[in-house]
Amino acid sequence: MRMLTAAHKQAPLPDDPGYFPVHVGHIRASHEFGYQPDDEGENISVKNDSYCELTALYWAWKNLKADAIGLSHYRRYFRGDAPGPNGSRVLSTDQMGTLMSTTDVAIARPRYYIVESIESHYRHGHIGDDLEVLRQVIRETSLGYSPSFEAVMRRRHLSLYNMFLMRGEHFDAYASWLFPILEDVEQRIDNESRGPYQRRTFGYLGERLLNVWVHAHSENLHVKYLPVVNTDGEPKIAKGLRMVQRKLAPAPPSRA
């Protein structure tokens, strides 16, 4: 049982044996924190500025074997009973084991966007053309997932943060599907010319693709949705205001 904890800096972490901190973007790091580097073995550490926490996921896919693997962040965890940073309570190893005995996949409880669809939300905050490229890649390489992609794009709720806990065989199936798609999209867009925020393209697309994969397999997998705790606090009002501002502001320029 391994719950990866993606971190690009030193931070308080849960004192629980199930958590496995991974130093993302380690290949360009100037400090060591004693975490597992994401640039050992086969890796994409050099792409951390665009793949975000997914470089930890890739490292685990290629270099780690476990009965169950999950992904959390140094400040975002699934809520549970174990002591976490800043007085939080996070999912314990025992809870993970109990969960995986009855559940195939656990992901974050969805956030609801009342005023717009998931596709509209992405277009207002990111580069809209990227969704068209992703849509085309799925049609060309994973046609069976196209209905689920369109269903997720029409919805008004989304599980965020690329967070999950999966049985090992499902994790391998998911990663084996996810990364070839992202790599194909990467070959078709000019991501390097973007600023730091918009350059996180594949982390953002990965969030949507996790929802697509779960939707596509929902009839065959037992899926559970878990609450997420932000150990720095969750500025809900500020987030709501930003969402309205993004809705009213012109969309970022679309460019391939």
Tens digit of pLDDT for each residue in 164-187? 999 999 999 999 999 999 999 999
State how far Cα 186 lies from the chain centre: 17
pLDDT at 112 over 60: yes
pLDDT at 254: 53
pLDDT at 255 over 50: no
pLDDT at 245: 57
pLDDT at 256: 39
Task: Please write the tens of the pLDDT for every residue from 37-63.
Answer: 999 999 999 999 999 999 999 999 999
DSSP 8-state symbol, 16: S
pLDDT at 80 over 50: yes
Residue in 235, 102, 256 with CA at minimum distance from that of residue 193: 256
- Phi and psi at residue 164, to the nearest 5°: -165, 170
pLDDT at 233: 83
pLDDT at 248: 56
Q: For the residues 200-219, what does the mean pLDDT come to? A: 99
25 Cβ partners below 8 Å, 6+ apart? 8, 38, 45, 48, 49, 55
Tokens of 67: 């009965």
> For the whole model, what pTM was predicted?
0.92
The count of C-alpha atoms lying within 13 angstroms of the C-alpha of 220, restricted to the half-sphere facing its C-beta, is 5
pLDDT at 234: 63
Confidence band for 87, pLDDT divided at 50, 70 and 90: very high
pLDDT at 153 over 70: yes
Residues pairing with 111 in the sheet: 158
Residues pairing with 223 in the sheet: 105
Residue in 153, 10, 224 with CA at minimum distance from that of residue 21: 10
* Least confident interval from 6-15, 205-214, 245-254: 245-254
Residue in 24, 1, 6 with CA at minimum distance from that of residue 163: 6
> From its phi and psi, is residue 34 left (phi > 0), alpha (psi between -120 and 50) or beta?
left
